[in-house]
Structure 1
């Protein structure tokens, strides 16, 4: 799964996966580690969410993601962060250019 996330970030392709049993469609922007947990920070554009409306920024724990697939559609790249503040990470493994 990690290789698919890295590929999607490098090629700016949408990913589709299940998270907490809900389907998600996401622009993956950062893959990294926070508090020892591997996570994807993404802009969720489709699917379902149990926490607020869409589209919106979300963090996803890698160990709770399943059935991940890279989709054909691409996205333009970085999006502005509404707060003007970047999320904190212990380490960033990949970030969209």
Structure 2
């Protein structure tokens, strides 16, 4: 299931790749949470394609629309500063990248 794989990637600071809106995405997953009743992953997208603007950029993805998820062996350093200095709001945080 995608949720358990994303949790593992967040805990181990591993990049994930997946299809979303028929586009390949490569992200550093930072938060798995619930927002407005939807389970989402917030990640720093640095690779793949995007239909909503340039990269790299922070993006949220609805888990129900994530396909062909793959946890890679590529690691990332950990938390990145957000433009606002804080995570955007969540109804519930399920997993957050360790510092």
Give the equivalent residue in structure 1 for 2:76: 75
TM-score computed with the length of structure 2 as normaliser: 0.96
Structure 1 moving runs of 4+ over 6 Å: none
The Cα of 1:37 is off from its aligned counterpart by: 0.1
Deviations 1:26-56 (A, max 9, x none): 0000000000000000000100000010000
In structure 1, the gaps of 5 or more residues are none
Give the equivalent residue in structure 1 for 2:48: 47
The Cα of 1:84 is off from its aligned counterpart by: 2.3
Quick one: distance in 1 between partners of 2:85 and 2:14? Answer: 24
Quick one: distance in 1 between partners of 2:17 and 2:55? Answer: 15
Deviations 1:39-80 (A, max 9, x none): 000000100000010000000000010000001110000000
In structure 2, the gaps of 5 or more residues are none
The Cα of 1:85 is off from its aligned counterpart by: 3.6
The Cα of 1:82 is off from its aligned counterpart by: 1.2
Aligned length: 97
Q: Aligned-residue CA RMSD in angstroms?
A: 0.7
The Cα of 1:83 is off from its aligned counterpart by: 2.3
